[in-house]
Structure 1
Amino acid sequence: MTSLLALDASSSACSVALWMDGNVISRVEHAPRGHTRRLMPMIDALLDEAGIARSALDAIAYGHGPGAFTGIRIAAGVAQGIAYGLERPLLGISTLRALAQGAWQRDGAGLIMPALDARLGELYVALYQGGQGQLDTVMADAVMAPEALALPSCQPGSVTMIGSGVALRDRLSFEVRECVGTTLEGREPEARDIVQLAAIDFASGLITSPQQALPIYLRDQVVSSKR
């Protein structure tokens, strides 16, 4: 049985999830500035609920960003510590990809633009297409001013925009606003979506070693992402 643990602290929410051969259980808490204190107890409670020991985990996944700088550093550090202790591989998952996964699976969205408020008047943004059993990248994760965003050719109303970046929709160009038909503003990245994406990547061998646990900031090009 394949068992994967995922955690996320990229927003005001703190979430953990467990994948066990396709079955997912998860926990979410609204814990601004409480991620360090809450993550480990949440993980322990989740494993107890599932009746599984840490030693039975095959890999650890985490939301590697973009998102709140402190939060994604906490997630990377906790994931790294667990992976080192268990001698297990890591899977860093884009928080924008996780947002798109949620919109695709639970809302039936097809063309999805996850967008997070990056502060300083900018967006963390990407574009994904869901269909035929998988989520494909159309536009890679990036950070930019809303006015600078340009999308590939799309039909009016065909795009679902999801995340806190919806609050900046009025600053998008007319062409981009015309493409957006549905908005899901109150959504944040969650471990339950991260763990499902991690299961796909794990099956494809897209794993890294614990020492490669890095937050992906996008801004200032602190590190670069391979996904």
Structure 2
Amino acid sequence: MMKKLQILAIDTCTESCSAALMVGDEIIADSKVAPREHAKLVLPMAKSLLAQAGLSLSQLDAIAFGRGPGSFTGVRIGTATAQGLAFGADLPLLAMSTLQALARQGYRLSDIPQQLVAIDARMNEIYLGSFCHHQGDFVPQQPERVCPPEQWRDVVDESKDYYATGSGWLAYADKLAPMPNHVVHHDIDLFPLAEDMAYLSQFAWQRGEAVDAADAQPVYLRDTVTWQKLPGR
């Protein structure tokens, strides 16, 4: 039986800033789309959730954070914030994939096991991931990559149906259309959420992926990222 964990999760990797607190089987969460306010919002969000649960940082098992890919600045803010909290409370960190978190969100919306995730990486590229639901977790089917949007077909099995989600589909709709029949639905106006990272963190914990704060590493997939507001946002 999996241990009932108490884990705080934060994410600032994309335009959405979010925090979530998992206490056993319950998750409470908060989020706001505010791409230039992450550094100001994320700590108050986390502290509010802890206060709601009547917990202190020292009572947690670990802190999970969005390790990327995403905005270069956002990934750094989230990593540094998580490290600061973990150092102060002597807690381990769990580095969570933004693409995997989006896959879990897509599954919650669709109940389709195969999830195809694309986040706009700017410079005519996407961050791309393919995941399959397995006993609550989401197993990567291919290594996460940054690539031209047209290359998304390289990570799919045309004999399976997929649910596609993420800002990459919106940003490069002209290059991706028409979508083939085996990509059955797509929710494009979604961002990764800490609540999904909190849920997924229990599997990362079980796999022994918790690390000391000093050893936590962001994942950029490329060295520099320019993050700009999407049209109409």
TM-score when scaled to structure 1? 0.90
More displaced stretch, 53-62 vs 127-136: 127-136
Question: What is the distance in 2 between the residues matched to 1:32 and 1:153?
Answer: 34
Cα distance change of structure 1 residues 5 and 171 upon mapping to structure 2, 3 Å threshold: same
1:155 corresponds to 2:191:
no
1:186 corresponds to 2:189:
yes
Determine the structure 2 residue equivalent to 1:198: 201
Determine the structure 2 residue equivalent to 1:87: 90
CA RMSD of aligned residues (A): 1.9
1:78 alignment partner, one of 77, 81, 104: 81
Question: What is the distance in 1 between the residues matched to 2:87 and 2:151?
Answer: 41
Is this contact kept in 1: 2:58–2:90, CA < 8 A?
no
Determine the structure 1 residue equivalent to 2:143: 140
Deviation at 1:179, TM superposition (A): 3.2
What does 1:58-77 align with in structure 2 at a 5 Å threshold? 58-77=61-80
Cα distance change of structure 1 residues 187 and 153 upon mapping to structure 2, 3 Å threshold: same
1:25 alignment partner, one of 25, 28, 43: 28
Is this contact kept in 2: 1:169–1:177, CA < 8 A?
no
1:109 corresponds to 2:108:
no
Is this contact kept in 1: 2:137–2:203, CA < 8 A?
no
Question: For residue 128 of structure 2, what is the amino acid of its counterpart?
Answer: V
Is this contact kept in 2: 1:161–1:184, CA < 8 A?
yes
SS in 1 for 2:185: strand
Question: What is the distance in 1 between the residues matched to 2:91 and 2:214?
Answer: 11
Deviation at 1:72, TM superposition (A): 0.8
SS in 2 for 1:206: coil
SS in 2 for 1:113: strand
TM-score when scaled to structure 2? 0.88
1:172 alignment partner, one of 170, 173, 176: 176
Q: Which runs of 4+ in 1 moved over 6 A?
A: none
Is this contact kept in 1: 2:58–2:91, CA < 8 A?
no
Deviation at 1:219, TM superposition (A): 1.4
Long gaps (5+) in structure 2: 226-233
SS in 1 for 2:144: strand
Is this contact kept in 1: 2:106–2:164, CA < 8 A?
no
Is this contact kept in 1: 2:130–2:156, CA < 8 A?
no
Question: What is the distance in 1 between the residues matched to 2:99 and 2:124?
Answer: 18
SS in 1 for 2:210: coil
1:129 alignment partner, one of 125, 129, 132: 132
SS in 2 for 1:140: coil
Question: For residue 126 of structure 1, what is the amino acid of its counterpart?
Answer: G
Question: What is the distance in 1 between the residues matched to 2:180 and 2:122?
Answer: 20
Deviation at 1:153, TM superposition (A): 2.6
Determine the structure 2 residue equivalent to 1:218: 221
